[in-house]
Structure 1
Amino acid sequence: MMTDVVESNGSLTRPEAGRPGPGAPGSPVDGPSGADDARPEAGTGTPEPAAAARIVEIRERIDEIDRALIELWQERARLSQEVGVTRMASGGTRLVLSREREILERFRAALGADGTQLALLLLRAGRGPL
């Protein structure tokens, strides 16, 4: 089976018949050991070792931030669900639209249109779909 490959410059290539494609075990990009990190640019998009090392460092920090965001997202959803359960158990409404508008505006003001989309996702995670 032939698989199209998108090169780092955006061009589309197809491996030649009988030759492994980039990233396949034993291919030039994969290196002789079969490890993806056989060359400095593996996974970083640059052949310059110092730039590749810096990219790896930055990505490690991005991964830390992603883990924190996921944990915070989950905590926020749990807390929001608890608010809803507590409100409804005491005879209140399922939603408080003024609170949702406040959150949407806070995120929009800080992040623009993307902030609005993020806030909508956060709200949905806590209260479920409307």
Structure 2
Amino acid sequence: MMTDVAEQSGNTARSRAGDGRNAAPGFGTDEPAAAARIAAIRERIDEIDRTLIGLWQERAELSQQVGATRMASGGTRLVLSREREILERFRQALGADGTQLALLLLRAGRGPL
């Protein structure tokens, strides 16, 4: 998947340069209106990324607080049924990629097993 993104974003401008067209750097197109639209969309993507990063950090902190509270009260480090519930929620919503995302979220909150 990541190579697809790299090929679509970076190599398009280079391939167009070879056919005599002057693609706008970083946009993969020589059409000004399309480049402007891409720039606007990318601004929104960057906003979403900032939000996701903030939410990721907040979620990790909250998860760490849950774990610390549980362990301080004599509980277990992990509650596997809760982790399975989270994995299933993400899998149902996003498929196999959701499972991978959930695993990363869980690790951020509790650390590696």
Q: By the TM > 0.5 criterion, same fold? A: yes
CA RMSD, aligned part only? 1.8
Per-residue CA shift, 1:83-118, capped at 9, x if unaligned? 000000000000000000000000000000000000
Which structure has the greater CA radius of gyration? 1
TM superposition shift of 1:80 = 0.1
| Alignment partner of 1:46 is 2:29 | yes
Q: In 1, distance between residues paired with 2:12 and 2:35? A: 14
The residue correspondences of 1:48-87 to structure 2 (distance < 5 A) are 48-87=31-70
The residue number in structure 2 matching 1:104 is 87
Structure 2 portions without partners, runs of 5+: 1-9, 16-21
Q: Are residue 113 (structure 1) and residue 100 (structure 2) matched?
A: no
**Partner Cα separation in structure 2 for residue 62 and residue 108 of structure 1:** 23
Distance in 2 (CA, whole Å) between partners of 1:10 and 1:112 is 34
In 2, distance between residues paired with 1:50 and 1:7?
20
| 8 Å contact kept, 2:13–2:26 | no
**2:111 — aligned with what?**
128
TM-score, with normalisation over the residues of structure 2?
0.82
Give the conservation status (yes or no) of the 8 Å contact 1:40–1:49.
Answer: no
Give how far 1:8 is off. Answer: 2.1
- Structure 1 unaligned blocks of 5 or more: 1-5, 12-38
Do 1:44 and 1:55's aligned partners in 2 also have CA atoms closer than 8 Å? yes
Return the letter of the residue paired with 1:46.
Answer: T
Higher RCO (CA 8 Å, separation ≥ 6 residues): 2
Q: How many residues align?
A: 98
> Does the aligned pair in 2 maintain the 1:40–1:47 contact within 8 Å?
yes
Moved over 4 A (4+): none
Query: Does the C-alpha gap of structure 1 residues 82 and 56 become closer, same or farther in structure 2, counting only changes over 3 Å?
Result: same
Aligned sequence identity (%)? 81
Please state which structure has a larger fraction of its residues in helix: 2
